[in-house]
Amino acid sequence: MRKLISWFDIPTSNFNRAVKFYQNVFDLTLNIVDCRGEKMGCFPDDGVNVTGCIFHSPDYKPSIDGVIINFYSDDDVNSFLKKVELNGGRTITPKTKILVEGRGYFALFSDTEGNRIGVYSDK
């Protein structure tokens, strides 16, 4: 089956703050790219998973009301949310069991830019 989603952009109002947040929460290094005055912090591309970036442009506005991107975490959802809060984000929806058997848990949080982001885990 072909991938239906190929890329995502997470808008930023303070690019450097967002870079620090995502690098610390996900324990990874974003590839910083300057594209004609617009800045991108690209998530690593393993060739298997959908990837994307945090993006700074006058045309992109962070929003708590937009589309939700859900990240997968190997950590327990509560442990992941602690990292979010330690790095300036906040929990919106605490760890919640998905009611379909065997589907794991999810939570929603706000990043430092005000975007609503989801996290999913088996734990």
Question: Whole-angstrom Cα distance, residue 40 to residue 34?
Answer: 6
| pLDDT interval class at 100 (50, 70, 90) | confident
Does domain 7-121 fall under CATH 3.40.50.150? My reply is no
Over the stretch 11-21, which tens digit does the pLDDT of each residue have?
999 999 999 99
Among 40-44, 47-51, 92-96, 112-116, the range scoring the smallest mean pLDDT is 47-51
Question: Whole-angstrom Cα distance, residue 22 to residue 28?
Answer: 8
Nearest CA among 47, 50, 53 for reference residue 19: 53
Predicted pLDDT at 54: 97
Is-contact 91 85, C-beta < 8 A?
yes
- Locate 104 and state its tokens: 């794991």
CA atoms within 13 A on the CB side of 17: 11
Domain ranges of the chain: 7-121
